[in-house]
Amino acid sequence: MTRIFIVSLLFFLVSSALGHDGMPVYLEFNEISDSEYELAWRIPSSVQSTNLPTVSLEGDCDEQKTLPATTRYRGKRIYECVDREVSLQISLSFPRTNPSLSTIVLVERSGFRSEFLYAGPGVQAIEIPSSINEKSLLTEYSKLGLEHILRGYDHLLFVLCVVWLAFTFNRILLAVTGFTIAHSVTLGLAAMEVFALEIEPTEALIALSIVFVAAELARQNRASLSWRYPVVVSSVFGLLHGFGFASVLEEIGL
């Protein structure tokens, strides 16, 4: 009965891991002068090339220039907005269906600290505030973090599988510690641009790591390396997940 449950869990993990596309759309709104603004965007690679959104600045604004980009998933435009009394908003319109992605906007105005805005999935117009709320950074990233925890149930189940594999308190403590240290090492290397991996193969390997742990539970071979030394498995996967987390942070501009 236990094996049937684990095999079912394995199937669920495979489908959810391969279908996970929770990285947000990242936008930057920069005030160049009293009437000039720069709007830049970065679209997650999980969005199909035929469904890339049209990003524009609305509110009595004229597009002055489109700057060259290295990929269709990134872009940058300069706008002139003469009437400062008219509220500005960023329009995000997908040609087909909205892929249920959240949006983060970095707002930079002259004389103010940077502010982050958060918009949930399905929001197509994001209003730019006329004044800066210095507490918005913590608030908006807390919202995003909570959303990703709730939507990232595949990764939560991966942790559950590792805990199940370790089973006893001391082994669980070692496995979690090994995962955390390894995760921090590769995250630090990627953050300092010492070494990094492309996001697509990294996500695929992370999905395979989830499948591997679930398969080990299904096999119930307690003589295997995974069962005898779960700290080794969690540490190796921790290195991989660190690169994945760094890729996510890079995608959202951190």
Has residue 13 got a pLDDT over 60?
Answer: no
Q: Using an 8 Å Cβ cutoff, are 122 and 98 in contact?
A: yes
Has residue 3 got a pLDDT over 90?
Answer: no
pLDDT tens figures, 189-200 = 877 777 777 777
Beta bridge pairs of residue 55: 92
Ranges of each domain in the chain? 2-20+152-251, 25-134
Give the percent of the chain with pLDDT over 90.
21
Q: Using an 8 Å Cβ cutoff, are 14 and 207 in contact?
A: yes
**Cα(219)–Cα(198) distance, rounded to whole angstroms?**
32
By CB atoms closer than 10 A (0-12, 13-18, 19+), residue 216 is buried
Q: Dmax of the chain from CA atoms?
A: 73
CATH architecture of structural domain 25-134: Sandwich (2.60)
Question: Model pTM?
Answer: 0.56
Q: Using an 8 Å Cβ cutoff, are 55 and 245 in contact?
A: no
pLDDT given for residue 51 in this prediction = 92
